[in-house]
Amino acid sequence: MNSTRQTLLLARRELLERVRTKAFLVTMGVLIGAVLIAGPLISLLASEDEPIRISIVGDEPADIDQLLATAAATFGVEVRISRDTDVPSAERALASGDVDTALADGSELIFHKDQSFFTVQIVRAALTIGRQRAALEELGATTEQRTRLLEPPPLESRTVVIPDPDEEPRLVAAFASLFVLYIAILVFGQFVAMGTVQEKQNRVIEVLLAKVEPTQVLVGKVIGIGVLGLGQLLALGLAGLVTLTFVDTDLALPSLGLNVLATSLLWFVLGYTLYAFVYAALGATVSRQEDLQGVLITPLLLLIPGYAVAQFAAADGTSALARWGSLFPFWSPILLPSRLATGDAGWVEHVAAIGLVVAAIYLLARLGGRVYAGAVMRTGGRVSLREAWRAARG
């Protein structure tokens, strides 16, 4: 059996071993279910502004219904008007939540507990127009004259820069891809390290190395867990695209989501592979899960500054820090996708970053593979990187 086939069989073993666990299946089902119900839930909660419910009590100004509707329309809302026979009846309606406020005798607004400044302004505007109209009638103004005096003058407005309707969803997509990639690279990278330590503890590595080379075990583990992570992200991404169809918006969110999903999957593969060799090499230097946390600080020190820069770049992706940081291989996987989502990175920059990350992966595969080979069979205390390097050379 050739080495490539052996490596793929090891990757298949790693994948199936994790996919069949009850914890993975339950977690995956819960995550997908949560994503699928998010869209309908958002659509349900983000309903249109409810109309302001006003009860009229006692003497009412002339044409108060029309005046309130006109004033509310100026503020972009609607009013729903009802009538009560007396103030106690209106107060009971307020207590039960049937109305939001009551207008008594055209001069007093009654609220149940908290006053609404917005509602006060609408009613005040309506009453003001009503009084002005009555005064003009007393002065003998015609209907046309009253309309010209009371109707607001036409006012056009414009902006110097035409707003991009996709700017806000692009920003949301940038932060979402940033967060998901950061978590995914950390989680699945740690799976590689934990799997390495587990195989040392239960002596499985000794059985494997009796038949295959250490590098094959390492690459097989990276591929197997990587396929698992890629499948999980793809499933969650597709569920996210499905739930976006339930969100009531005029923006092309599903189309934008497809681009972000494709870019995120590409950079997960690159970022995970880059960090997986680091995690595997570091995991091979310890023999107990309790000692693992100490060596996992190194990948965090590489990734966390990139995450911080990426958050800054999501808001300002054209800065020098964002541009140069995108070319640093350990930051590119989380920094560049967010800049692509906001449209701040070009394809030349994208291709250059991919090339640098691929070169870094090759280098780390060689270096990490050597450390892994020199440390994976050594049990007991922690093995230093120098000792592992020398052991592999020997």
pLDDT score for 251: 47
The dihedral formed by the CA atoms of 16, 19, 22 and 23, expressed in degrees to the nearest 10: 130
Same-domain status, 202 and 322: yes
pLDDT score for 248: 54
Same-domain status, 225 and 337: yes
Same-domain status, 133 and 247: no
Same-domain status, 186 and 306: yes
Give yes or no for a contact between 272 and 221, defined as CB atoms under 8 angstroms apart: no
For the chain, the domain total comes to: 2
| Tens-place pLDDT, residues 286-329 | 878 777 888 888 888 888 998 888 888 777 777 888 888 889 99
Banded model confidence at residue 353, pLDDT cuts 50, 70, 90: very high
Evaluate whether residue 4 is within a structural domain. Answer: no
C-alpha–C-alpha distance, residues 379 and 204, integer Å: 13
The pLDDT of 330-341, averaged and rounded, is 86
Same-domain status, 295 and 247: yes
Could you tell me the sign of the dihedral formed by the alpha carbons of 220, 296, 20, 33, in that order? negative
Q: Which string of b and e fits 317-340 if b means at least 16 CB within 10 Å?
A: beeeebbebbbbbbbbbbbbbbbb
Same-domain status, 225 and 87: no
pLDDT score for 202: 79
Banded model confidence at residue 31, pLDDT cuts 50, 70, 90: confident
C-alpha–C-alpha distance, residues 173 and 342, integer Å: 8
pTM of the model: 0.70
Evaluate whether residue 10 is within a structural domain. Answer: no
Q: Which tops the pLDDT comparison, 50 or 12?
A: 12
Q: Is a pLDDT exceeding 60 seen at residue 50?
A: yes
Evaluate whether residue 13 is within a structural domain. Answer: no
| Tens-place pLDDT, residues 75-87 | 778 888 888 888 8
Same-domain status, 187 and 145: no
C-alpha–C-alpha distance, residues 185 and 274, integer Å: 9
Among 88, 123, 150, residue at a domain's last position: 150
Q: What is the CATH number of the domain that holds 94?
A: 3.40.190.10
The pLDDT of 178-193, averaged and rounded, is 87
Domain residues for the domain of 70 are 52-150
Q: Is a pLDDT exceeding 90 seen at residue 358?
A: yes
Q: Is a pLDDT exceeding 80 seen at residue 359?
A: yes
Give yes or no for a contact between 102 and 94, defined as CB atoms under 8 angstroms apart: yes
Evaluate whether residue 158 is within a structural domain. Answer: no
Same-domain status, 143 and 187: no
Cα first-last separation, the chain: 27
Among residues 177, 239, 248, which one has the least CA distance to residue 36?
A: 239
Task: Write out the two tokens for 326.
Answer: 């995108």
Give yes or no for a contact between 349 and 323, defined as CB atoms under 8 angstroms apart: yes
Same-domain status, 197 and 96: no
CB atoms within 10 A of CB 157: 4
Evaluate whether residue 5 is within a structural domain. Answer: no
Q: Percent of the chain at pLDDT above 90?
A: 8
Same-domain status, 77 and 188: no
Evaluate whether residue 162 is within a structural domain. Answer: no
